[in-house]
């Protein structure tokens, strides 16, 4: 049950848009997981929503472009340039031309050392990127007020746990099985005697998730 509550907390933050996990986002930045960063962000905002969102998406895609250049992954650079950056810079021709020029350089750090001296090595660049993104996220009207996890009243959470247990028990075939409550309901799930009466995890997880969402917004 404890694992279930943790899973539900993760589902709540990623699916209900009630909580933006800045630590999880920072891990994505540190690991260079650009796709997951955008996927997570898109649950809360899109680049067209406001100036802060636009800059967030642009900075992420530009850093991905820079690192692809460093690794001499020209096919990836071209893909990022055409698929991700062009759509964000269609109204800023000078900015886009500057990005295109990087594609033509062998080592843009040496050639544009003064202009891009802030970029540094990969880890340093990601740290600087996260510092900038954090400021933008905090200032973003669609995300800034979602950085604290919503609190649940203890009595309401207790009621939800009991409802969850009762619902799980009802999934057993009472005609042929003896359903049992675990001794420690917070750490174990109820079960049926027969192996064929296993409760589908996806079913009761979805049920509990909706209960938790209702509790948080009720």
Each of the 218 residues of the chain gets a pLDDT tens digit; together they read 445 555 555 555 555 667 899 999 999 999 999 999 999 999 999 999 999 999 999 999 999 998 998 888 889 999 999 999 988 887 777 888 888 888 877 555 554 544 444 456 889 999 999 999 999 999 999 999 999 877 656 566 666 666 666 666 666 655 555 555 555 555 555 555 554 444 444 444 444 444 554 545 44
Residue 29 sits in the same domain as residue 132: yes
Residue 198 lies in a domain: yes
Residue 211 lies in a domain: yes
Residue 26 sits in the same domain as residue 88: yes
* 151 φψ region: left (φ > 0), alpha (ψ -120 to 50), beta (else): beta
Residue 73 sits in the same domain as residue 132: yes
Residue 50 sits in the same domain as residue 139: yes
Residue 181 sits in the same domain as residue 164: yes
- Asked whether the whole model's pTM tops 0.85, one would answer no
The DSSP line for 114-154 is TTTTT--SHHHHHHHHHHHHHHHHHH-TTTGGGSSPPP--H
Residue 138 sits in the same domain as residue 64: yes
Residue 1 lies in a domain: no
In the three-class reduction of DSSP (H, G, I as helix; E, B as strand; rest coil), residue 198 is classed as coil
Residue 103 sits in the same domain as residue 38: yes
d(CA 88, CA 96): 9
Indicate the average pLDDT of the chain.
74
Domain extent, residue 133, equals: 20-146
* Strand residues in the chain grouped as ranges (E): 179-180, 191-192
What is the per-residue pLDDT across 73-117, written as a single tens digit (0 to 9) for each? 889 999 999 999 988 887 777 888 888 888 877 555 554 544 444
- Structurally, the chain folds into a number of domains equal to 2
């Amino acid at each position: 049950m404890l694992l279930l509550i943790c899973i539900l907390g993760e589902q709540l933050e990623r699916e209900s848009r009630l909580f933006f996990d800045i630590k999880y986002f920072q891990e994505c930045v540190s690991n260079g997981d650009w796709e997951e960063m955008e996927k997570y962000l898109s649950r809360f905002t899109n680049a067209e929503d406001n100036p802060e969102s636009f800059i967030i998406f642009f900075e992420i895609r530009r850093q991905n472009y820079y690192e692809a250049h460093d690794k001499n992954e020209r096919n990836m650079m071209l893909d990022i340039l055409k698929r991700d950056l062009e759509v964000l810079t269609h109204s800023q021709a000078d900015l886009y031309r500057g990005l295109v020029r990087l594609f033509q350089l062998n080592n843009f750090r040496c050639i544009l050392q003064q202009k891009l001296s802030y970029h540094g090595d990969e880890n340093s660049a990601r740290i600087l990127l996260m510092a900038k993104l954090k400021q933008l996220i905090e200032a973003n009207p669609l995300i800034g007020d979602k950085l604290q996890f919503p609190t649940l009243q203890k009595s309401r959470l207790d009621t939800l746990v009991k409802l969850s247990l009762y619902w799980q028990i009802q999934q057993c075939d009472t005609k042929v099985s003896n359903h049992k409550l675990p001794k420690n309901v917070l750490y174990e799930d109820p079960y049926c005697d027969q192996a064929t009466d296993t409760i589908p995890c996806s079913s009761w997880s979805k049920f509990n998730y909706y209960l938790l969402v209702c509790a948080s917004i009720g």
